[in-house]
Amino acid sequence: MKDLKKVSNPYGDSKVMDNCGIFGAMDTSGKVFGGEGVVAAIENMKERGNGLGGGFAIYGLYPNYADYYAFHIMYLNEQARQETEEYLKIHFNIKHAEEPPTRPNQVPNPPITRVYFVEPKEENFEINETADDYAVHHVIKINEYINGAFVFSSGKDMCVFKGVGHPIDIAEHFCLDKYNGYMWTAHSRFPTNTPGWWGGAHPFSLLDWTVVHNGEISSYGTNVRYIEQFDYKCTMQTDTEVIIYAIDILMRKHHLSIETVAKIFAAPLWKDIAKMDDPQKRVATALRQVYAPFLLNGPFTIIIGHSGQMIGLTDRIRLRPLVVGEKDSMLYLSSEQSAIRLIEPKLDKSYIPAGGMPVIGSIKKPLSTVKV
């Protein structure tokens, strides 16, 4: 594993006992909105964080480059930047590159950050390789082999901004007040078993998939060994990493629905499967047998984002909280209802979903037809 060290935790320790806060907001009509409310909501749960990591995912913010992969890359030094840019020129056509706007002195020791809007060079594709396969392959290669470089976001018309600090510090550092999107997710990170560092903050992202997570994955070792059989490489040094790769495999490659993925991640107990009627029993049995290494042991609540959809899911016995709020076309997911009520006091509906049952918000009409 390369030494991505960790433009790291300014507090000089590796573990602070706090919780995690997660939040998501989506306008299911597809209209874009600013992130002030999302920043306020995650800041309202500040006691759940510890300053060792915070971050945001935004969807629909790059309409001028919506057809290009937006590679956001952190660099620890100029050599890493030069090496990575040479690598990108070989494998991709670079439409545009820039340094995202930042405010100085908001966070200590920030890495160099650049965004590249790229398209794959199709002449380099392997037989039956898709553009997404190609992009994933090279994201993993950069993260594994170029020392001091880390691709932390790689989807189209979306991005992740994250780092070491409280979420409000990250929002200020990356000037998030300048962006609009139809969906925002946020996280106040507690590095449960790993040191706080910029690449290890949430959200985790691959292509347009993002995950924010509250909890701990005790099956991490089993999950990693299975995932790496599919040519992925876990380099982010935290348990949540396995979730983003598992989602990519199950939903993009195996074409499973999120309802089916929920039954894999938060699988029913064998004693409960035995009580089911056919064909439900046969389906549940097959999923547990075929995808056993994707079972997520341990407490978790996750918010999954990808283009046009936001999903909330807890473990089957709800060891971590998730609250849902709805107001007109807006869907909110949060660790605490107080965060939702802060920015939307008069909800149409508010509820706590059952354990292991996904909450799914989707754009009501194709994004290409949405007027913003």
Contact 196, 164 (CB under 8 A): yes
Residue located via tokens 């006691």:
47
DSSP secondary structure letter of residue 213: E
Distance CA 305, CA 150 (A): 21
The residues that are catalytic are: 20
Specify the pairing of strand 359-362 against strand 309-314: antiparallel
Our measurement of the distance from residue 266's CA atom to the centroid of its chain's CA atoms, rounded to an integer in Å, reads: 18
**3-state SS, residue 189:** coil
Q: Which secondary-structure segment (H or E) carries 74?
A: strand 69-75
Which residues have CB under 8 Å from 193's CB, separation 6+?
15, 216, 238, 239
Please count the other Cβ atoms lying within 10 Å of the Cβ belonging to residue 273.
17
Our measurement of the distance from residue 65's CA atom to the centroid of its chain's CA atoms, rounded to an integer in Å, reads: 21
- Of 91, 302, 317, nearest to 210 by C-alpha is 302
Distance CA 263, CA 289 (A): 12
- Which alpha helices (DSSP H) does 174-257 contain, by range? 220-227, 241-247
Q: Which two tokens stand for residue 328?
A: 């007109």
- Of 50, 24, 26, nearest to 302 by C-alpha is 24
Residue located via tokens 């959200």:
203
- Of 153, 148, 41, nearest to 87 by C-alpha is 148
